[in-house]
């Protein structure tokens, strides 16, 4: 029994990484001034942030039914008996629910996993699914395993500018103006479902980064006190960060969490369109 693994670019996995891992990835649509592009395929990260910062109308969407099922058909024609599809959390998009409906036409050959994750924690879910598939696990058993561990994760995001939260209607123009005057840096969190407000720091992003580290340390001491820390993976993330900024964020996390697996992955367009450039994030999970 050959089981394929498929995800979307909200995992931070692009086509080059997917090829290296031996999995499949569908590129999420990005709409700029009513023209549709595909993340990591027909638009680069740099081009996305250029459009976002230049005031163009930018939004994201779920993949079309045709694009999803065409890729499923290709995977099955490549010699796989079945496949698992790991889309972004159902709490953040309808793409998971839509794909679950499409899968009904495949007579059990397609399992859609609602892993309640995105970004770096979703990345780790894909790696776990691939490990299970390589060891002979069925699509159904992989779905059961990943959905069982779905909430064993935590994400925090620090936003560098309030402009895009204002554009998305998450804060009022007055709150955005006041927040900018006070140099407020909102921290958002994803605890398995939707993007929620966690805290606000005043001053530089360094203060927000330290607050996120403290939040993760608290999660490890309380929420995940019973988990084997040897299986802990920490993902650093950022929205349009240059190489030096990525390195600084990773270095800060390595100092705070020595002897822990720490990796970097860019925030996807689906998140960055709300946070704007310069946002940084941290996510933890166990595998």
- Whether residue 136 is found in the same domain as residue 161: no
Give buried/exposed letters for 145-157 (b at 16+ CB in 10 A, else e): ebeebbebbbbbb
d(CA 271, CA 128): 23
pLDDT value of residue 182: 41
CATH number for the domain that contains residue 269:
3.30.1180.10
Residue 40 domain flag: no
Please give the tally of structural domains in the chain: 2
pLDDT value of residue 125: 97
pLDDT value of residue 161: 81
Q: Are 112 and 99 in contact (CB under 8 A)?
A: yes
Asked if the model's pLDDT at residue 196 lies above 90, the reply is no
pLDDT (tens digit, 9 = 90+) per residue, 28-47? 999 999 999 999 999 999 99
- Whether residue 13 is found in the same domain as residue 143: yes
Tell me how far CA of residue 116 lies from CA of 181, 210, 224, 231, in angstroms.
35, 26, 17, 19
Which residues span the domain enclosing 157?
153-286
Q: Which of 211, 243, 233 is nearest to 287 (CA)?
A: 233
What number of other Cβ atoms are within 10 A of residue 174's Cβ?
A: 9
What is the pTM assigned to this prediction? 0.92
Domain boundary at 148, 169, 203, which?
A: 148
DSSP-derived secondary structure letter, 239: S
């Amino acid at each position: 029994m050959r089981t394929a693994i498929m995800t979307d670019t909200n995992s931070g996995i692009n086509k080059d990484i997917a090829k290296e891992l031996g999995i499949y990835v569908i590129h999420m649509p990005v709409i700029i001034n009513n023209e549709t592009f595909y993340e990591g395929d027909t638009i680069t990260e740099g081009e996305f942030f250029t459009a976002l910062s230049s005031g163009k109308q930018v939004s994201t969407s779920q993949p079309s039914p045709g694009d999803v099922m065409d890729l499923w058909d290709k995977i099955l024609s490549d010699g796989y008996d079945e496949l698992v599809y790991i889309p972004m959390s159902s709490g953040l998009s309808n793409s998971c629910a839509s794909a679950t409906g499409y899968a009904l036409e495949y007579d059990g050959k397609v399992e859609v996993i609602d892993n309640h994750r995105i970004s770096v924690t979703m990345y780790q879910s894909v790696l776990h699914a691939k490990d299970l598939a390589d060891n002979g696990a069925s699509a159904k058993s992989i779905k059961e395993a990943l959905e069982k561990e779905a909430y064993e994760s935590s994400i925090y995001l620090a936003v560098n500018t309030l402009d895009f939260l204002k554009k998305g209607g998450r804060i009022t123009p007055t709150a955005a103006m006041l927040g900018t005057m006070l140099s407020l840096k909102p921290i958002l969190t994803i605890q398995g479902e939707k993007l929620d407000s966690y805290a606000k720091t005043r001053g530089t992003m360094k203060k927000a980064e330290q607050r996120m580290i403290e939040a993760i340390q608290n999660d490890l001491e309380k929420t995940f006190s019973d988990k084997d820390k040897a299986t802990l993976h920490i993902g650093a993330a950022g929205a349009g960060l240059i190489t030096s900024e990525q390195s600084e964020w990773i270095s800060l996390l390595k100092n705070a969490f020595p002897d822990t697996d720490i990796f970097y992955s860019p925030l996807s367009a689906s998140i960055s369109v709300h946070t704007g450039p310069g946002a940084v994030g941290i996510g933890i999970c166990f595998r």
